[in-house]
Amino acid sequence: MNPTETTETKKTTDATDVTEAPEATDKAAAEPAGAAGPAGPAADENAAAEDNETDGDAQEAPHTPSGVGAAAGAVVAAGLGVVALSGSWVGKIAAERQTLIGQIKTSQGGTPAQQISAVYGDAWHTTALVNGIFALLALIVGVAVLAWPQKAGWVRAFAVAGVVLGVLGLIVSAGMYFDLFLGLPSAGSQ
């Protein structure tokens, strides 16, 4: 075996074939010193320099992202979009808290319209606000995933679903908050 062949073989190995480089060094070391070329300290220095080049090549190899972050973000965006449309435990607790605050306020008196607004309207608006926050989060995460480079096809589909559900959730939440879909009942209507 020729020392130039060993050098060329090592230079052509890429980062994924790093395990082959020690075998080539072992083969060169197994040959007698007279057959391989110059013996002694010069040969050891050449081998050390070649090993350093191989190590440098392995360290300089570009790291390709696995796409796990984009995949997780896409699923989270779709999940947040579903929560924005269907409601959440957080929204329910916030609405119940607002109902309790309204009951405390109206226990001291007030007109029927004020009582309806304090007990039911504020809770309705709180639910709409919490759902709107979830919708906004779904929209932000979905757009961030779509801007992410190198993603699989299904990841893009989930991210688009998260964006669409986020937009729908914002529309529904805005409609609820501003009483566009269902207005508060008045004290005079039955």
At CA 166, angle to CA 161 and CA 168, rounded to 5? 95
Angstrom distance (rounded) from CA 138 to CA 144: 10
Q: Region 136-149: what's the mean pLDDT? A: 95
pLDDT for residue 31 is more than 60: no
With 0.85 as the threshold, say if the pTM is over it. Answer: no
Q: Is 11 or 147 the better-scoring residue by pLDDT? A: 147
The pLDDT tens digits of the residues spanning 69-121 come to 899 999 999 999 999 999 999 999 999 999 999 999 888 888 888 888 888 99
What length does the chain have?
190
Angstrom distance (rounded) from CA 156 to CA 187: 50
The pLDDT tens digits of the residues spanning 175-185 come to 999 999 888 77
CA distances, 118 to each of 16, 17, 160 (Å): 67, 71, 38
Query: Across all residues in the chain, what is the average pLDDT?
Result: 78
Least confident range of 11-15, 82-86, 99-103, 126-130? 11-15
How would residue 2 be classed by pLDDT, with cut points 50, 70 and 90? Answer: low
Q: Is 186 or 73 the better-scoring residue by pLDDT? A: 73
